[in-house]
Protein backbone atom coordinates (compact mmCIF):
# COMPACT_ATOMS: atom_id res chain seq x y z
CA UNK A 1 0.00 0.00 0.00
CA UNK A 2 1.30 3.46 -0.89
CA UNK A 3 1.89 6.16 1.71
CA UNK A 4 -0.88 8.19 0.07
CA UNK A 5 -3.42 5.39 0.47
CA UNK A 6 -2.39 4.84 4.09
CA UNK A 7 -2.96 8.52 4.87
CA UNK A 8 -6.30 8.52 3.05
CA UNK A 9 -7.39 5.60 5.22
CA UNK A 10 -6.32 7.55 8.31
CA UNK A 11 -8.40 10.52 7.21
CA UNK A 12 -11.38 8.29 6.54
CA UNK A 13 -11.01 6.63 9.93
CA UNK A 14 -10.91 9.95 11.76
CA UNK A 15 -13.36 12.01 9.72
CA UNK A 16 -15.26 9.66 7.44
CA UNK A 17 -16.56 7.36 10.15
CA UNK A 18 -17.29 9.93 12.85
CA UNK A 19 -14.65 8.63 15.27
CA UNK A 20 -13.31 10.61 18.21
CA UNK A 21 -16.67 12.20 18.98
CA UNK A 22 -16.67 14.47 15.95
CA UNK A 23 -19.27 14.57 13.22
CA UNK A 24 -18.18 12.83 10.01
CA UNK A 25 -17.02 14.77 6.97
CA UNK A 26 -15.88 17.81 8.92
CA UNK A 27 -13.01 18.55 6.56
CA UNK A 28 -13.78 20.98 3.74
CA UNK A 29 -14.93 19.10 0.64
CA UNK A 30 -15.11 15.71 2.33
CA UNK A 31 -18.90 15.56 1.99
CA UNK A 32 -18.29 15.56 -1.76
CA UNK A 33 -15.49 13.01 -2.15
CA UNK A 34 -16.16 11.06 1.10
CA UNK A 35 -12.54 9.87 1.10
CA UNK A 36 -13.17 7.56 -1.87
CA UNK A 37 -10.82 6.96 -4.78
CA UNK A 38 -12.07 6.16 -8.26
CA UNK A 39 -10.78 3.08 -10.03
CA UNK A 40 -7.32 3.38 -11.51
CA UNK A 41 -6.78 3.73 -15.23
CA UNK A 42 -4.93 1.07 -17.16
CA UNK A 43 -1.78 1.76 -19.13
CA UNK A 44 -3.66 1.40 -22.40
CA UNK A 45 -6.26 3.99 -21.35
CA UNK A 46 -3.59 6.49 -20.35
CA UNK A 47 -1.63 5.93 -23.54
CA UNK A 48 -4.79 6.43 -25.58
CA UNK A 49 -5.37 9.81 -23.91
CA UNK A 50 -1.74 10.84 -24.45
CA UNK A 51 -1.75 9.74 -28.06
CA UNK A 52 -5.02 11.52 -28.82
CA UNK A 53 -3.74 14.81 -27.38
CA UNK A 54 -0.14 14.30 -28.52
CA UNK A 55 1.31 14.81 -25.03
CA UNK A 56 3.00 12.87 -22.25
CA UNK A 57 1.43 13.38 -18.83
CA UNK A 58 3.73 14.38 -15.93
CA UNK A 59 5.18 11.19 -14.47
CA UNK A 60 3.96 11.62 -10.90
CA UNK A 61 0.39 12.39 -11.99
CA UNK A 62 0.50 9.52 -14.47
CA UNK A 63 1.58 7.12 -11.71
CA UNK A 64 -1.16 8.44 -9.44
CA UNK A 65 -4.04 7.75 -11.82
CA UNK A 66 -2.50 4.39 -12.73
CA UNK A 67 -1.65 3.06 -9.26
CA UNK A 68 -3.65 5.08 -6.69
CA UNK A 69 -6.86 6.35 -8.25
CA UNK A 70 -8.32 8.24 -11.19
CA UNK A 71 -9.57 11.12 -9.10
CA UNK A 72 -11.82 11.18 -6.05
CA UNK A 73 -10.54 12.15 -2.62
CA UNK A 74 -8.23 15.15 -2.65
CA UNK A 75 -7.80 18.85 -1.94
CA UNK A 76 -10.86 21.10 -1.81
CA UNK A 77 -13.80 19.34 -3.51
CA UNK A 78 -11.68 16.39 -4.60
CA UNK A 79 -9.74 15.36 -7.69
CA UNK A 80 -11.24 15.22 -11.14
CA UNK A 81 -11.04 12.11 -13.27
CA UNK A 82 -8.60 12.43 -16.14
CA UNK A 83 -11.48 12.37 -18.62
CA UNK A 84 -12.98 15.42 -16.88
CA UNK A 85 -9.86 17.54 -17.42
CA UNK A 86 -11.76 20.21 -19.37
CA UNK A 87 -14.89 20.61 -17.22
CA UNK A 88 -16.55 23.99 -17.74
CA UNK A 89 -13.90 25.03 -20.24
CA UNK A 90 -14.91 26.14 -23.72
CA UNK A 91 -12.31 24.33 -25.80
CA UNK A 92 -12.02 25.48 -29.39
CA UNK A 93 -8.36 24.69 -30.08
CA UNK A 94 -7.86 21.05 -31.11
CA UNK A 95 -4.24 21.34 -29.97
CA UNK A 96 -5.17 22.72 -26.56
CA UNK A 97 -3.08 20.31 -24.47
CA UNK A 98 0.00 20.11 -26.66
CA UNK A 99 0.19 23.91 -27.01
CA UNK A 100 2.71 25.21 -24.48
CA UNK A 101 1.35 26.83 -21.34
CA UNK A 102 2.08 30.56 -21.84
CA UNK A 103 3.21 31.73 -18.39
CA UNK A 104 6.07 31.30 -15.95
CA UNK A 105 4.90 33.93 -13.46
CA UNK A 106 1.54 35.19 -12.22
CA UNK A 107 -0.65 36.72 -14.90
CA UNK A 108 -3.60 39.06 -14.53
CA UNK A 109 -5.28 41.71 -16.61
CA UNK A 110 -6.96 44.58 -14.84
CA UNK A 111 -9.81 46.41 -16.48
CA UNK A 112 -9.19 50.15 -16.40
CA UNK A 113 -12.74 51.26 -17.06
CA UNK A 114 -15.29 52.55 -14.57
CA UNK A 115 -16.68 49.32 -13.14
CA UNK A 116 -19.09 51.29 -10.94
CA UNK A 117 -20.90 52.57 -14.01
CA UNK A 118 -23.49 49.92 -14.91
CA UNK A 119 -23.80 51.14 -18.49
CA UNK A 120 -20.07 50.96 -18.94
CA UNK A 121 -20.02 47.38 -17.58
CA UNK A 122 -22.27 46.38 -20.48
CA UNK A 123 -20.29 48.32 -23.05
CA UNK A 124 -18.60 46.78 -26.07
CA UNK A 125 -15.21 47.71 -24.63
CA UNK A 126 -15.83 45.77 -21.44
CA UNK A 127 -17.23 42.82 -23.36
CA UNK A 128 -14.07 42.62 -25.47
CA UNK A 129 -11.88 42.74 -22.38
CA UNK A 130 -13.97 40.07 -20.67
CA UNK A 131 -13.84 37.73 -23.67
CA UNK A 132 -10.07 38.03 -23.77
CA UNK A 133 -9.69 37.64 -20.00
CA UNK A 134 -11.54 34.33 -19.94
CA UNK A 135 -10.14 33.08 -23.24
CA UNK A 136 -8.87 29.50 -23.28
CA UNK A 137 -5.46 30.70 -24.52
CA UNK A 138 -4.46 31.62 -20.96
CA UNK A 139 -4.59 27.98 -19.84
CA UNK A 140 -3.29 26.22 -22.94
CA UNK A 141 -1.25 23.15 -22.12
CA UNK A 142 -2.99 22.35 -18.83
CA UNK A 143 -5.63 20.06 -17.35
CA UNK A 144 -8.03 20.92 -14.56
CA UNK A 145 -7.44 18.57 -11.64
CA UNK A 146 -9.55 20.07 -8.86
CA UNK A 147 -12.33 22.58 -8.13
CA UNK A 148 -11.74 24.68 -5.03
CA UNK A 149 -15.20 26.21 -5.13
CA UNK A 150 -16.37 29.70 -6.16
CA UNK A 151 -15.15 28.95 -9.72
CA UNK A 152 -11.52 28.64 -8.56
CA UNK A 153 -9.63 25.76 -10.15
CA UNK A 154 -6.34 23.99 -9.57
CA UNK A 155 -4.76 22.89 -12.81
CA UNK A 156 -1.72 20.83 -13.79
CA UNK A 157 0.51 22.06 -16.59
CA UNK A 158 1.23 19.33 -19.13
CA UNK A 159 3.11 21.28 -21.84
CA UNK A 160 5.79 23.94 -21.72
CA UNK A 161 8.34 25.20 -19.21
CA UNK A 162 5.97 24.80 -16.26
CA UNK A 163 5.09 21.20 -17.10
CA UNK A 164 4.39 19.17 -13.97
CA UNK A 165 3.54 22.15 -11.77
CA UNK A 166 0.24 23.03 -10.12
CA UNK A 167 -1.27 26.44 -10.91
CA UNK A 168 -4.44 28.22 -9.81
CA UNK A 169 -7.09 29.74 -12.08
CA UNK A 170 -8.85 32.43 -10.05
CA UNK A 171 -10.05 34.65 -12.88
CA UNK A 172 -13.62 34.37 -11.61
CA UNK A 173 -12.55 36.53 -8.67
CA UNK A 174 -10.35 38.83 -10.74
CA UNK A 175 -7.17 37.33 -9.29
CA UNK A 176 -5.82 35.97 -12.55
CA UNK A 177 -3.70 32.86 -12.96
CA UNK A 178 -0.78 32.08 -10.70
CA UNK A 179 1.52 29.22 -9.66
CA UNK A 180 1.01 27.41 -6.39
CA UNK A 181 4.25 28.13 -4.55
CA UNK A 182 5.94 27.59 -1.20
CA UNK A 183 7.14 30.45 0.99
CA UNK A 184 10.50 30.13 -0.79
CA UNK A 185 8.73 30.52 -4.14
CA UNK A 186 9.31 26.89 -5.11
CA UNK A 187 6.68 25.26 -7.28
CA UNK A 188 4.47 22.37 -6.21
CA UNK A 189 4.28 19.34 -8.46
CA UNK A 190 1.21 17.12 -8.29
CA UNK A 191 2.60 14.73 -5.66
CA UNK A 192 3.85 17.54 -3.41
CA UNK A 193 0.52 19.33 -3.64
CA UNK A 194 -1.49 16.21 -2.87
CA UNK A 195 0.75 15.13 0.03
CA UNK A 196 0.73 18.63 1.49
CA UNK A 197 -3.04 18.43 1.58
CA UNK A 198 -2.94 14.97 3.20
CA UNK A 199 -0.48 16.05 5.88
CA UNK A 200 -2.23 19.33 6.71
CA UNK A 201 -5.61 17.59 6.81
CA UNK A 202 -4.35 14.96 9.27
CA UNK A 203 -2.85 17.64 11.49
CA UNK A 204 -6.06 19.64 11.47
CA UNK A 205 -8.29 16.66 12.26
CA UNK A 206 -6.03 15.30 14.99
CA UNK A 207 -5.96 18.68 16.66
CA UNK A 208 -9.72 19.10 16.43
CA UNK A 209 -10.51 15.65 17.81
CA UNK A 210 -9.20 16.59 21.27
Tens of pLDDT, residue by residue over 6-53, are: 999 999 999 987 555 567 899 999 999 999 999 999 999 999 999 999
- pLDDT, residue 24, reads 86
Query: In the structure, what pLDDT confidence band is assigned to residue 210 with cuts at 50, 70 and 90?
Result: very low
Cα 201 to Cα 77: distance, rounded to the nearest angstrom:
13
- pLDDT, residue 92, reads 85
Tens of pLDDT, residue by residue over 57-73, are: 999 999 999 999 999 99
DSSP assigned state of 22: S
Q: Collect all residues with Cβ–Cβ distance below 8 Å to 139 and sequence separation of at least 6.
A: 89, 101, 155, 169, 177
DSSP E strands in 7-151: the ranges are 142-149
Are 79 and 145 within 8 A, CB to CB? yes
- pLDDT, residue 113, reads 56
If one counts the domains in the chain, the total is 1
pTM over 0.85: yes
Given a cut of 70, whether residue 152 has pLDDT beyond it is yes
- pLDDT, residue 209, reads 57
Domain of 93?
A: 3-208
Residue range 73-82: mean pLDDT, rounded: 98
Are 84 and 49 within 8 A, CB to CB? no
- 183: domain CATH number is 3.40.1580.10
Tens of pLDDT, residue by residue over 161-187, are: 999 999 999 999 989 999 999 878 799
Amino acid sequence: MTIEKEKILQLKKIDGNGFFKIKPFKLFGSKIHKYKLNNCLGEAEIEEFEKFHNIKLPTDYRNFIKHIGNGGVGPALGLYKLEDWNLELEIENDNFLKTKFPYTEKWNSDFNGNTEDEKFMYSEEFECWEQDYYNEKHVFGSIRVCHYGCAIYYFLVVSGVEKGNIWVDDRANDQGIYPLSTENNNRYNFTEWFNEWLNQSLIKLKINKH
